[in-house]
Structure 1
Amino acid sequence: MRFEKGDNLKNRVYCFVIFASIFASRLNFDIGISIQLFHIIFIFLLASALYVVPKKLLVDEFLLLIFYILFSFTGINAIEPSQTLIMILGLGVVINYSLISRCFFTRLSLANLLNVFSKVGKLIFWLSISLYLLGFCFFFLFGLNEGEKFLGVMIEKGIVRAIGISTDPNFLSLISLVFVFYFLDSKDKRLYAYGFIILILLSLSRGGMASLLIGGVVYILRSDYKKIIYLALIVSIFFIISKWILDFDIINVVLEKRISGLENGGGRFDIWSQGLHIFKGNEIFGIGIFQFKTYNILYFSDIHYLHNTYFEVLIEGGIIVFSIFILSIACFSKKFLFLYCYDKKSLWIFPTIISFFVCIFGLSAYSSPILYTFIAFMNSVYLLNTPASR
């Protein structure tokens, strides 16, 4: 094994590439299954003998492994077993990738790990905003079709939504939430926090905005109120500039289209109701991992996913798997309450975690590498903050 221990430049580069790759879902190619950048990094780590996992797992990491094993066994009842097997292997890669990530992250000092985090955030912001501006200009000049994605934009109901380096506006919001409170808490980097807030607003993601608001409330409770005043000013300036640049009628149309259907969660409440109907009679073991869409087509001729990570785990995995998943999240989050209450330097972490887990309430994210590598990164920050727990 050629893995080099220590906080050296090579390990910092590895950490940067490992962490940045999980956010670039636009960089993929389809060979029957979607191969993303982090898959290529994972294969490289295997082939170069750099594959290494932590010798000792934290409680939440151990619970996530149990969750994966039990969840995988629910695939026995799958309607399409071959496709389900591929997806189970894919989820295994995602979880292994997060464990490898944690092992690399904890080789760095806390200061250097946060420096890597900062550089990844800056890169994502500039790529996302650049792709959005180029895509918006193209739409303004030439137009795009409904549902079409081009560069950093997607057209939905005739309006332009930012997707940046992601494939979905809601996932762009999730990515932005990973970084926004860190930059908000860094005096010399606060402009990037405002930039990520603007990205969330440009994504027109109602779930992202609600998650930002909830995380902001948690942040305010322990923060300097001047930051909140600056934040309110930035949002106000954004809307004033938008009103000045865009026609007032256009703004009204955008708001109307995003607010319409709010009473039923933009159609999500209907899908969740369908999910609970499918769940009846399958309460203990669920309908099987990655099976909701298949059942939804079979019962309701609806091709949509559930768009709720928690309901998806409950309906597909059953009560036992769901309980382990929730317990792992609870154990993970609990560790950061102490840092939130007593360590001013780590104030940004708990609001980030809260907003992140609120945001995935409106996303199908249990198979996303962002979820597990986010947990791995935050666990690394915790371990480096509390050396006695390592």
Structure 2
Amino acid sequence: MTTVSDINTIKSKETTLVQLWLFFYVFSFFIPAINLDIGFSLKIFMPLSVLTLLVFFNRLKLNINTTDFLWVIFICLGFVSVSLSIDLEKGFRLSLGALIIYFCYLVFRSFLFYCVERNIKVESVFLVVALIFSSVSLILYFIGLKSIGINVLSFEGQRVYGVLVDRAIPRLIGVVQDPNIFIYYASIFIFYFGLKKQKAFLDILCLVLLALCCLLTVSRGGLLALILVFSLVFINSFFRFLLRPKFTLSFFAGLLSLIVFIYIAVLFLSSVDDVISIIERRLSSAASGSGRFEIWINGLSLWQQSPLFGIGWHNFLYYNSNFFMRDNYAHNTFLEVLVETGIVGFTIYFLFFLSFFYSILKVINSDSRKIYLLFTFVAMVLMLNNLSLIISEATFFLMAVVYMSLYKIKLSKS
């Protein structure tokens, strides 16, 4: 005969297994460098999503909301634009990638809903995932530095373990494939731990490791986005302090941390180029945004050729290479969307982000502790102005956490 104690033991074991599954599932989103090229990058979270759907099939709720609907419309429009473009192969591959990541997002979000129903705190795995993410990235970086040695110039443009040599500077890429995109991935952890009111020692350690990783990426755009958003955080705290003056330790610790981070970032970026020839190259690239301004002008001229529906999804690189002799992406996601899918596609993409933003505001209105979601979103939007990242699992990971939070609020009210 099964007793109440036996039932509770079984439930406890099931909860432990779900928590372990949650950890591996979350972690799989933050190791994009581990992938298999099968015409597109098959990343670990993709087969894991299929496995999750099979294992938890009867317990998952694959519902669709307004933000999802807008993304599906955008994918459909992108797919149609590809059929009218020159580089069909790349366009169809991006369309396939967008569908795969959207499917993975739906499964992951549904799994988070299931975790909420079992009273499992999803953010509880953030600490372990962030510690592994940052520490492994640093280890790979220093292994890469050791492999490169003093022959930095001979490794120009190469990835060596956790290092990318870019204009004679060893930049951290860690478990991501690009130093600029690394900060994009790290941002949700940075703001989660940075805005956490009661920080334990491991929280602070994690934040320090993440900050060090971000500094070692030497990403001007990424670091600037972090500085700007943390400045907004401080301004928000300052005005709240004026309304209700309260000299707390956390207020002064936050102010001091912001000042120290900005100082170290500026000092690091200004002193990292200790060779005159490297300084000249970095200054010349900085003056033109590493050539971005010229790329953006080229992009606008391409958009004028087909302003309504664009030149075709994932065709910017082809046009820029063949017509302007620049083998570069747009380095601006919103401009790339405008050029490739026209005003129609850009409008839908903008509405997608607007709906996403509105959902975050709904979460914060009910639970102010989730303010980190808003600042992560703002930082990501700022970074997208310097990145070509139309589809990214990091964006959809944030979306899943946002809608998981809304679902949790809904359950608490019912």
TM-score, length basis structure 2: 0.83
Answering whether residue 380 of structure 2 is matched by residue 360 of structure 1, we say no
1:152 maps to which of 149, 162, 184: 162
Q: Which residue of 1 aligns with 2:360?
A: 336
Change in 2 beyond 3 A, CA 1:47/1:248 = closer
Answering whether residue 173 of structure 2 is matched by residue 163 of structure 1, we say yes
Change in 2 beyond 3 A, CA 1:142/1:9 = farther
Answering whether residue 259 of structure 2 is matched by residue 232 of structure 1, we say yes
Q: Which amino acid aligns with 2:111?
A: F
Which string of whole-angstrom CA distances, capped at 9 and with x for unpartnered residues, describes residues 298-356 of structure 1?
A: 21122211111111111111111111111111121123335557744223221111111
Q: Which amino acid aligns with 2:129?
A: V
Q: Which residue of 1 aligns with 2:143?
A: 134
Between 1:33-42 and 1:116-125, the stretch displaced more is: 33-42
1:300 maps to which of 307, 324, 327: 324
1:211 maps to which of 214, 218, 225: 225
Answering whether residue 305 of structure 2 is matched by residue 281 of structure 1, we say yes
Answering whether residue 96 of structure 2 is matched by residue 89 of structure 1, we say yes
Between 1:280-289 and 1:339-348, the stretch displaced more is: 339-348
For the 8 Å contact 2:180–2:387, the answer to whether it is kept is: yes
Answering whether residue 114 of structure 2 is matched by residue 107 of structure 1, we say yes
Q: Which residue of 2 aligns with 1:40?
A: 47
- Give the match's secondary structure for 2:114: coil
For the 8 Å contact 2:366–2:409, the answer to whether it is kept is: no
Answering whether residue 239 of structure 2 is matched by residue 222 of structure 1, we say no
2:207 maps to which of 193, 196, 221: 193
Which string of whole-angstrom CA distances, capped at 9 and with x for unpartnered residues, describes residues 163-216 of structure 1?
A: 010110001111121210111123111232232122111101011011101210
Answering whether residue 186 of structure 2 is matched by residue 176 of structure 1, we say yes
Q: Which amino acid aligns with 2:128?
A: K
Root mean square deviation of aligned Cα: 3.0
2: CA distance, partners of 1:178 / 1:44? 25
Change in 2 beyond 3 A, CA 1:150/1:326 = same
Answering whether residue 297 of structure 2 is matched by residue 270 of structure 1, we say no
Unaligned runs of 5+ in 1: none
Q: Which amino acid aligns with 2:187?
A: L
User: For this pair of structures, how many residues does the alignment match?
Assistant: 383
For the 8 Å contact 1:365–1:371, the answer to whether it is kept is: no
2: CA distance, partners of 1:174 / 1:291? 24
Q: Which residue of 2 aligns with 1:62?
A: 69
Answering whether residue 134 of structure 2 is matched by residue 125 of structure 1, we say yes
Change in 2 beyond 3 A, CA 1:249/1:97 = closer
Q: CA deviation at 1:99?
A: 1.1
Q: Which residue of 1 aligns with 2:21?
A: 14
For the 8 Å contact 1:219–1:348, the answer to whether it is kept is: no
Between 1:210-219 and 1:329-338, the stretch displaced more is: 329-338
Answering whether residue 339 of structure 2 is matched by residue 315 of structure 1, we say yes
- Give the match's secondary structure for 2:149: helix
For the 8 Å contact 1:53–1:99, the answer to whether it is kept is: no
For the 8 Å contact 1:176–1:196, the answer to whether it is kept is: yes
2: CA distance, partners of 1:270 / 1:81? 26
2: CA distance, partners of 1:288 / 1:219? 39
Percent identity between matched residues is 25
